[in-house]
Structure 1
Amino acid sequence: MSRILAIDYGTKRVGIAVTDPLQMIATPLASVHASEAVNFVIEYTKKEETECVVIGKPVQMDNTASESEKQIKVFIQTLRRQKPDLKIERYDERFTSVMAQQTLHTMGESKRMRKNKSVIDRTSAVIILQSYLLYRNNKIKHT
């Protein structure tokens, strides 16, 4: 099987997580500057067989798109132009940053580590990916 990448896209940094080849475990992969994200994904997919890229969809409580959605759409368009055969899916990312901080706290990480934006971005990407995997597996199970 191939891997699945997940992206927590931010205006400055992008957190990236990846599954193992069996698509069972999500782990943090990297945190890159937003301007480097497309190249990172392209290079990664050249080295590793990748089934799809799951990109977090930042939705507000009233289900309207957040302000960063415009930048995410540009990112997706650029990625599709450079790698048209790459499957891209979107997944709701509400509360992932809060959940990432709570997860780091529960794991006993230092306050300094819990405030580190790169760590939070990577952890948020892992949460997006784990949630996506659960959703996908439940969807398959009930069809």
Structure 2
Amino acid sequence: MAKILGMDYGKIITGLSITDTKKIFAFGLNAVPTIKLMNFLEYFLVDEKIEKIVIGLPKKLNNQKEISIEAEIQKFIYKFHIKYPKILIERLDERFTSKIAFDTMIKLGLGKKKRRKK
């Protein structure tokens, strides 16, 4: 079964995560210098069957797109889609994802030390 690759695209570093084959859990995969992202993906996609990439949609709290990084993300999506047209790309509003993750850790009973551990 194919997996989903998550991407937190940054100007300098891009964070990557990947789901299990059942798409129930996501795990941190790697932090890649953005300038080397396409090279990393070329090798990574040889070994991993990926059906979709979810890329964070950076928005301000007032719902406006974060213009400075969004243009770079659009360029990446264009290049990626040309090279890998069969892999779907989905965008996900990332404004509150850290807050949701933090609240989930509290509900799971993780102590302060474990919540801070990255």
TM-score range, shorter chain: 0.7 to 0.9
For the aligned residue pairs, the C-alpha RMSD in angstroms reads 2.3
Residue 79 to residue 106, structure 1, CA distance change in 2 (3 Å): farther
Distance 1:29 1:12 in 2: 17
Q: Higher helix proportion, which one?
A: 1
Q: Higher strand proportion, which one?
A: 2
Counting matched residue pairs gives: 112
Residue 37 to residue 98, structure 1, CA distance change in 2 (3 Å): farther
Q: Which has the higher contact order (CA 8 A, sep 6+)?
A: 1
Residue 108 of structure 1 corresponds to which residue in structure 2? Answer: 113
Unaligned runs of 5+ in 2: none
Unaligned runs of 5+ in 1: 114-118, 120-143
| 1:1-143 paired onto structure 2 within 5 Å | 1-66=1-66, 67-96=68-97, 108-109=113-114, 119=118
Task: Answer whether contact 1:42 1:83 (CA < 8 A) is retained.
Answer: no
Distance 1:31 1:100 in 2: 18
Residue 106 to residue 91, structure 1, CA distance change in 2 (3 Å): farther
